[in-house]
Amino acid sequence: MSLNYLLVTLLSTAARSQWKLPAVSVRPCNCSARVYVYDLEPPLTDPGYGEAHNPFHRRPDTPGPWDPNEQGEHMYALTSILEYRLRRSCCRTTDPEEADLFFAPIAPRPRERASLYFELCQSGNLSAKSVRLALRHAREPWRACRHFFSLPHHYHFEQCGGWFAHPKPPYELMMRVGYLHSITPSLERRVRAEALNDHTAKRSHLWKDLSKVSSNISSTYPNLISVPYPSVHWSSGQTRAGFSPPWEREQHGLDRPVISPTMLFVGSAAHGDVAVRALVVKQCEAHPRCTVSPWRGGASLLDKQRAVFCLEPSGDSPDRKSVSDDVAMGCIPVFFSAISSGLAPWFWAAAGSAGGGYVLIEREPFLAGNVTLESELGRMPSARVAALGHAVTRVAHGFQYSIDDDPGDAVDVLLTGLHKMADAQCPHHTHQQP
């Protein structure tokens, strides 16, 4: 199971040649923020990255309305995807005076093992001094606070002190984008209480999750913002050409059975929140409309496109790439951890009401047997199932990292949020009149 790899499901249309020209956008520029992208030198960047690197370079050869043949691309390619997109964006500016945001694509190469990030930080290659020298527009606080970094898992960068972790001024003003972020104090109190009450002797998992996202993290990694994992990709040209994204199930001849809804768990009980996962597997295997399946690449995506509920018990960390796959396929994610459901709030916001677009089954009552998959999902009123399904289709575009400028996609949602956050937090600055 290639958990370390991002499944890039590339979609085919008649206009195949568009894949070769992903940078060209014919839309008039509609910018959520003007972004300055730093041209960094090794070792702050990785050799082969920068202007030339294309994380979307792989293409499938099988035509179809959308193509389940996956191409392996690293699921930690967040930084290289953002760098690629922002370098080619019509929102890019090379004039710092014009910029709303500044992106420093430090260490863009996806690394398969956490230890490689630790080594990178320990090597001193990303020292506070070299970062300070490179980020030449960060000297003034009103501009420093418009800077952002993107690093998939912040806790791999604990050794990158002084600028990323435990930042010194002005780095504490900068924004950090990754898959996880600090949770609200009230959620933290709730999860701590739950962890203390956990009589299953499996509390270590909750503590582990908490240690990655608790509010103490907000002083170690200030302004940490979580984004979804990348899942499917295509170009805005394909959307304009009438291509239907996979979450529009009706367009693919698929009904969403809101009466007697189906459930799917892609994964195993061998890792992550083992207590919850084992119970999910047990109840699922005994349920007539629930399926447990190992990860099977594109075939699993097709399964998700047919399922109503996709079960997402916590994994090795509360964030799951699987959730992005669910949303892309129009499947309603079901969380068993308030931490997991609290991630990527800017992206769930499009669902409408708070909590729309996913289900949270409380971990403790589930483990105690007070609630079950059948009581919470199997017997859910059909109107509620339908409303959740529609909410998923509303958030789906915002979860997608398109290949080029695409208003409303994940990059756009991120830039909109960062721009608002910077405007709200940045020290006031008035340009001096000449």
Ligand X SMILES: *[C@@H]1O[C@H](CO)[C@@H](O)[C@H](O)[C@H]1NC(C)=O
Residue 115 interacting with ligand X (CB under 6 A): no
Q: Which two tokens stand for residue 135?
A: 């980020």
365 touches ligand X by CB under 6 A = yes
Identify residues 193-232 at the interface with ligand X (CB under 6 A).
216, 220
Of residues 7, 153, 149, 175, the one with CA closest to residue 83: 149
Nearest distance, CB of residue 278 and ligand X, angstroms: 17
The footprint of ligand X on this chain (CB under 6 A) covers a number of residues equal to 17
In the complex with ligand X, which residue's Cβ is closer, 159 or 291? 159
Given a contact cutoff of 8 angstroms between Cβ atoms, the answer to whether 224 and 181 are in contact is: yes
Q: Are 143 and 150 in contact (CB under 8 A)?
A: no
Instruction: Confirm or reject binding of residue 260 to ligand X (CB under 6 A).
Output: no
Task: Please tell me whether residue 162 binds ligand X under the rule CB under 6 A.
Answer: no
Of 149, 150, 154, 73, nearest in space to 114 by CA: 154
Backbone φ, ψ for residue 107 (5° rounding): 50, 60
Full DSSP string of 277-312: HHHHHHHHHTSTTEEEE---THHHHHHHHH-SEEEE
Nearest approach, Cβ of residue 366 and ligand X (Å): 8
Q: Binding of ligand X at residue 54 (CB under 6 A)?
A: no
Stretch that binds ligand X, among 172-180, 248-256, 285-293, 407-415 (CB under 6 A): 407-415
Please say whether the beta carbons of 358 and 333 come within 8 A: yes
Type of residue found at 342: G
Token pair 């609290």: residue: 342
Q: Which stretch binds ligand X (CB under 6 A): 62-70, 87-95, 202-210, 360-368?
A: 360-368
5 phi and psi, to 5 degrees? -115, 140
Q: Which of 316, 364, 374, 376 binds ligand X (CB under 6 A)?
A: 364
Backbone angles phi, psi at 94, to 5 degrees: -100, 0
Residue 432 Cβ, how far from ligand X at the closest point, in Å?
A: 32
251 belongs to the binding site for ligand X (CB under 6 A): no
Q: Which of 41, 119, 140, 285 binds ligand X (CB under 6 A)?
A: 119
Cβ proximity of 320 and 75 under 8 Å: no
Q: Which of 257, 297, 352, 408 binds ligand X (CB under 6 A)?
A: 408
Binder to ligand X among 106, 120, 263, 403 (CB under 6 A)? 120
* Contact set with ligand X (CB under 6 A): 30, 32, 42-43, 119-120, 123, 125, 216, 220, 364-365, 368, 370, 407-408, 412
